[in-house]
């Protein structure tokens, strides 16, 4: 995951990995495999699962299928995080307790002080994000916007 916080320049990366991990890289908001890995990778890269390699293609046969994944850097990422490492840490924190609401995860990250709660709620309102949402419901651009807003507000 350190490469995700400190990316290196590349034109394209093609790798074989477990199909389940490939599905997490390519997952969309609101789906079960969508998580911090999805958000962090998709923020900077286009993910293409080229094809699946069945476990029967290997000797000895593993217990899982594999997939060939191509990552290509996005040419236009839109708004970028002010600080990539803080973005990665923030996203990981939001998904630490995935079944909790965004509000409860943010309180876990920033604390429960009344001023902090007010700042969190104001930021969510300004960005049009419901505190009752779960992290897996947010799009990548919403995580970037939240990171930047909390960074500007001095919370991150």
Is 17 annotated as contributing to ligand binding? no
The arithmetic mean of pLDDT across residues 45-74, rounded, is 95
CA 120, CA 41: separation in Å to the nearest integer? 25
Tokens of 142: 């919403």
pLDDT for position 149: 94
Domain ranges, ordered by start, for the chain: 2-73, 84-152
Question: Domain 84-152 sits in which CATH superfamily?
Answer: rRNA adenine dimethylase, C-terminal domain (1.10.8.100)
- Give 85-144 pLDDT, tens digit per residue: 899 999 999 999 878 999 999 999 999 889 999 999 999 999 999 999 999 999 999 999
Work out the mean pLDDT of the chain and round it to a whole number.
Answer: 91
DSSP annotation of 64 = S
pLDDT for position 6: 60
Its CATH class, for the domain covering 2-73, is: alpha beta
pLDDT for position 80: 73
pLDDT for position 4: 60
Tokens of 12: 């394209």
Most distant CA atoms of the chain, gap in Å: 59
Tokens of 98: 């995935």
**pTM attached to this predicted model:** 0.87
pLDDT for position 76: 72
């Amino acid at each position: 995951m350190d490469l995700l916080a400190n990316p290196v320049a590349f034109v394209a990366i093609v790798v074989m990995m477990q199909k389940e991990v490939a599905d997490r890289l390519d997952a969309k908001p609101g789906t079960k495999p969508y998580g911090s890995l999805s958000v962090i990778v998709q923020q900077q890269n286009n993910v293409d699962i080229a094809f699946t390699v069945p476990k029967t293609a290997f000797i000895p046969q593993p217990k899982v299928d594999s997939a060939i994944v191509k990552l290509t850097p996005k040419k236009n990422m839109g708004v970028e995080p002010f600080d990539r490492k803080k973005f990665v840490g923030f996203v990981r924190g939001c998904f630490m307790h995935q079944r909790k609401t965004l509000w409860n995860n943010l309180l876990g990250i920033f604390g429960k002080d009344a001023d902090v709660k007010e700042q969190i709620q104001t930021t969510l309102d300004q960005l049009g994000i419901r505190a009752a949402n779960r992290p897996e419901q947010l799009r990548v651009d919403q995580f970037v916007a939240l990171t930047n807003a909390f960074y500007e507000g001095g919370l991150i």
